[in-house]
Amino acid sequence: MAEEEQTELDLSPLEEAVASFPESQDSDVDEIEDEIDIEAAQDEEGDDDGLDDLEIGSEKHRVPRAVKEAWSGLQASTQKEREGLKAQAAEQKGAMALTSNFIKDIAKIQNIDSQLEPYKNLTSQDWIQWANEDSEKASQAQIGIKALDMEREKLVLTVERSERERVEKVNQERMHYQEAGERELKLQIKNWSPEKSETLKSVAKDSGFSKEELGPLAYDPRVMKVLDELREYREIKAKVSKRTAMKKDDPTPTPTPRSRSKTPTQGLRDSQNIDDWAAKFDQERARHTGRR
C-alpha cells in the first residue's frame, strides 16, 4: 500500500494578503460601530415625543409630561387639603359633641336639683312626723333622695371632667396659635424680639387698646405690623419736634446767604460793528489801566 504523501500547505500568500490590509481598518470599524450606536440612540430619542398618559376618571389623555407632573402635584395638594379639612371637621364635630353632652349633663343636674328642692327644708322632726303618718312613703322618699344624690354626684364628676378637657384643649389651641404667630412675626417684622413685642403692646395701650382686647391680637402679624409702623411714625415725629424745639432755643442767628446780582456784566459782543467794538475796547483798557 503506497504511502500517502503529505503535502504541506503554503500559507505565505495568505499572510502577505493579510499584511497588505491597511492598519486603519480597525479604527474604521470602531467608528462605524459608534455611528450605529449614535443612530440607535437618536432613533430612541425620536420615539420619545415628550408626552405621557394622564388618567382623569375613566378617560386617558396624552399630555406633555410637565402637565402630568403639575396635575399630580395639584392632586396631591388637593388630597392633603381634603385630609386637613376632614381632620378639622372631625375635630369640630368632637368639640360640638363634647359641648352638647356638657349642656345635657348640666340640664340633668338642674332637673335633679328641682326634684330635690321640696326636701331641702325638711328637718329631722319633719321626717319623724312623716314616718309616723306614712312610714312607707317616707322610706321611699329617702331612698329616692339618695338615688338622686348619687346620680347628681356622677353627673357633677362628668361635668368637671368635661370642663377640664375643654380648658386643656383651649390651652393647647392657644399655645399652637401663639407658636404659629411667633413664627410669622419673626418672618414679617424686622428685629422681632420679646422686647419689641412689649414695646408694641405699649403702643397699643397708648392707642386705646385694653389688655383683654389686645390679648388675642398680640400674635396676629397684621395687627403688630400696623403697630410697628405707628411706633416708627411716632419716633420720627418726636425727633422732628425735638429738632424744631432746639432751633427755637438756639440764640445764634442763622447766616443770611449773600445775594448774587442777576444783572449780566456788560462786555464786548460779537454783534457790534468794528468801530463800536474798538471804542469799547479802548474804554475797558483805560479803565483797567486807571485801576493800576
Question: Is the confidence at residue 200, as pLDDT, over 70?
Answer: yes
- Spatial neighbors of 188 by CB under 8 A, at least 6 apart, are 221, 225
CA dist 66 and 12 (Å) reads 67
Q: How would residue 253 be classed by pLDDT, with cut points 50, 70 and 90?
A: low
CB 277 within 8 A of CB 268: yes
Chain centre to alpha carbon of residue 75: 21
**Residues 77-129: tens digit of each pLDDT:** 676 667 666 766 766 676 777 778 888 889 999 999 999 998 988 899 999 99
CA dist 112 and 269 (Å) reads 119
**Residues 135-175: tens digit of each pLDDT:** 999 999 999 999 999 999 999 999 999 888 888 888 888 88
Radius of gyration of the chain (CA): 52
Percent of the residues in the chain that have a pLDDT greater than 70, as a whole number: 65
The residue that leads in pLDDT, 9 or 120, is: 120
Question: Is the confidence at residue 44, as pLDDT, over 60?
Answer: no
Q: How would residue 61 be classed by pLDDT, with cut points 50, 70 and 90?
A: confident
